[in-house]
Each structure stands twice: as structure tokens, then as C-alpha cells.
Amino acid sequence: MQVVATAGPASRTVELRVRGELDMASAPELASALDDLLAADHRVVVLELAELSFLDCAGMRPIRAGLVTLRSRGGTLVIRHPQPLVERALRIAGLGDALEGGRRLLSSS
């Protein structure tokens, strides 16, 4: 798995591009990247998953943890462009509301 962070025009917005497979072996890498971003006080985190080919329950843990942390700070996490099987796994796990275009779990308002 590869994680690439890109800061947006507002210093509190960042996009993480996640590529490859997100599973038990690679989840700690995403968790670390999210922890670093949240420590830097980013309020909007966009997970770009277009190039994520596989996601299991261990890979969902850092996503859920990021949601909880952002919620406690009034932030937002948005998931963009997941592959169909990844999207299905997210929806089954109850994370579908964070998908772009859907009702979001977290809102800054």
C-alpha cells in the first residue's frame, strides 16, 4: 500500500491518496499517516481510494478511528472514488455515509 498526502488550499484540508491493498499488514501505515495529519490539526480529510484494490476489516480500523477523532473536533472525513468492491465493504461496515455524494457521517456544521 502507498499513502500520499496533498494539502489543499486551506491549511486544514488534506487529501490522502491510498493505493494498493489496505489490510492487516498495511493498516498501521494509514493509521500513522492519519495520526500525523490529525496532530497537525487538519479538519477536513479526503481519502481518495480510486487506486485502492482491496480493503478488509483491519484496513477499516484506521478509517473509523479517523472518523471518530474528526467528529470530536468538528471535522469531516470524505471518501472519494472507491472501487465497487471497496465501496461495498465500506457500506457493509457502516462507513457508507462518509462516501462523497452520500450523506456524510461527519459534518463541520
Mutual orientation of helices 84-92 and 57-72 as an angle, nearest 10°? 60
- pTM, rounded to two decimals: 0.83
pLDDT-derived band at 104, boundaries 50, 70, 90? very low
Best CA proximity match to 17, nearest among 27, 26, 30: 30
Q: State pLDDT tens for residues 66-89.
A: 988 998 999 999 999 999 999 999
Mutual orientation of helices 27-39 and 57-72 as an angle, nearest 10°? 10
Residue 101 has pLDDT above 90, yes or no: no
Residue 108 has pLDDT above 70, yes or no: no
Q: Which domains does the chain have, with CATH numbers?
A: 2-98 (3.30.750.24)
Q: State pLDDT tens for residues 28-67.
A: 999 999 999 888 888 899 999 999 999 999 999 999 999 8
